[in-house]
């Protein structure tokens, strides 16, 4: 995948976890247009963060995003069982295209 | 509430053309706005942006696929479609349709996806 994410992360209920998303200066590092999607298998992916750190209306403030250089991060605080899902990052990039990460499977232990 | 639903054959033979349709409800095709997008997810891999069509019919494709892909729109049916020529096993994936609002750089509504398997 164009963007690199860890294959899996895990945490206990109530804890915080962070998922990284590493790209290049042509995508993550070059634009403040990183988005994050939560995906429960079999359902439609759900936008949870856009433009690095903005939350759409209705998304819990337990989800937050940030970026430093070519790496963006998604932090989920106060982990809940319902947060167990796959998480994908995406970024606007060169030549007006979009690139995505390989996805991170979050396990809530 | 915008809803998108993909439909397709499920199985396509190698070298043939893959055809998918996305039916949209809760959003108008005939008014200004909305880039209707196709994205796919290969097995055990991440997402790949395929391309989009604007309500006016303007299209833009992933350079890696542009020689084989056509996206079209039927505003009378609130549908847009994907055609991918000369498919191979590498085109086996879950195909999603999604919406992007002009001026934004993210996809705010997605369909549930449909699995397309390319067989030999």
Q: Is the pLDDT of residue B28 over 80?
A: no
Cα dihedral across residues A50, A23, B63, B120: positive or negative: negative
Q: Is the pLDDT of residue A16 over 90?
A: yes
Q: Is the pLDDT of residue B55 over 90?
A: no
Residue of A nearest to B108 (CA): A47
pLDDT in the model for residue B32: 63
Average pLDDT score over chain B: 93
pLDDT digits (tens, 9 = 90+) for A53-66: 999 999 999 999 99
Whether residues B105 and A103 touch (CB distance < 8 A) is answered with no
3-state secondary structure of A105: strand
3-state secondary structure of A95: helix
Q: Confidence band (pLDDT; 50, 70, 90) for B30?
A: low
Q: Is the pLDDT of residue A74 over 80?
A: yes
Q: Could you say which of B60, B105, B112 has the minimum Cβ distance to residue A92?
A: B105
**Residue numbers in B near A98 (CB within 8 A):** 49, 105
pLDDT in the model for residue B43: 84
pLDDT digits (tens, 9 = 90+) for B76-98: 899 999 999 999 999 999 999 99
| Distance in angstroms (rounded) separating the CA atoms of residues B60 and B50 | 9
Whether residues A102 and B46 touch (CB distance < 8 A) is answered with yes
């Amino acid at each position: 995948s164009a963007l690199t994410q860890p294959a899996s992360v895990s945490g206990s209920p109530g804890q915080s976890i962070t998922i990284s998303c590493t790209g290049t200066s042509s995508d993550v590092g070059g634009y403040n247009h990183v988005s994050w999607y939560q995906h429960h298998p079999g359902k439609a992916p759900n936008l949870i963060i856009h433009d690095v750190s903005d939350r759409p209306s209705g998304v819990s403030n337990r989800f937050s995003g940030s970026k430093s250089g070519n790496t963006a991060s998604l932090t989920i605080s106060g982990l809940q069982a319902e947060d167990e899902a796959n998480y994908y990052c995406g970024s606007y990039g060169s030549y007006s295209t979009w690139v995505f990460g390989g996805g991170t499977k979050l396990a809530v232990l | 509430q915008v809803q998108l639903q993909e439909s397709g054959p499920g199985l396509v033979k190698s070298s043939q053309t893959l055809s998918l349709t996305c039916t949209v409800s809760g959003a108008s095709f005939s008014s200004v706005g909305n880039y209707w997008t196709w994205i796919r997810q290969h097995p055990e891999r991440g997402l790949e942006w395929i391309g989009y069509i604007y309500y006016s019919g303007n299209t833009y494709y992933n350079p890696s696929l542009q020689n084989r892909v056509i996206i079209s729109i039927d505003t009378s049916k609130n549908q847009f479609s994907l055609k991918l020529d000369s498919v191979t096993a590498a085109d086996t994936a879950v195909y999603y349709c999604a919406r992007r609002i002009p001026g934004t750089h993210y996809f705010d509504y997605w369909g549930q996806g449909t699995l397309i398997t390319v067989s030999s």
